[in-house]
Amino acid sequence: MERRSDPQCSTMHHRVPESQLIVYNPAKKVSQLQMKHPRTGAIEPDRLTVVVSIDGACRGNGTPSARAAWGVYFGAQSPHDASGVLALTLPQTSTRAEIEALSQVLRIIRENLSSDHSMQEYRIRTDSDFLVRAMSEWIEGWIAKDRRNSQGRQVTHYSALKEIHERLADMTYGDDGGMDFKFWYVPRENNQEADALANQALNG
């Protein structure tokens, strides 16, 4: 299962300066990667791609009064940007908020973008190394071991992660699939827009 992405390892994208790597497409209302044309060397949008950033935020993490929220960022002017607080029935932690952000972005893609078959390659940016590795490396092993990790311990948030894994598989391989999802780890300082949306939700 290959669900991890890094444009610096892509032959199409690695020669684009970082400041120009992501561009907002106002016609599609999403952000997209840019690439260097193989013949002309010109930098141009990679029309197959959609770049979306997700994040979770939690105030009072680890305390009884903790409150958590999620943010999804498609671009500065995108109507698909979204945020919200976690239901009180869910664990109020930053990790659970990041998982909720991923669940919400899949809902937004399915409801609003999946019918546009000109965009098939979804790159999900997150500063959660746990989430990237969970969805690209660990989840199938956890399922095979009946929700236990390599140390034999119960995986926290297993049910939510397994449900997302199944949705990703359906959106990739199902009858209405055809989408390609990869996770792109970025440092926290490069994920400020999604973080701001999550904190905006906490501010009410």
What Å distances lie between residue 132 and 2, 7, 99, 102, 157, CA to CA? 11, 15, 10, 11, 14
What pLDDT digit, counting tens, does each position of 181-201 carry?
999 999 999 999 999 999 999
179 or 9, which is more confident:
179
pTM of this structure:
0.95
What Å distances lie between residue 182 and 50, 101, 149, 185, CA to CA? 11, 15, 22, 10
What pLDDT digit, counting tens, does each position of 19-77 carry?
999 999 999 999 999 999 888 889 999 999 999 999 999 999 889 999 999 999 999 98
**What letter does residue 155 receive in the DSSP assignment?**
P
State the average pLDDT over residues 87-98: 97
Contacts of 33-36 with C-beta under 8 Å, sequence gap 24+, read 33/7, 33/123, 36/12
Angle made by CA atoms 196, 199, 201, in degrees to the nearest 5: 115
Report the percentage of the chain scoring pLDDT > 70: 100
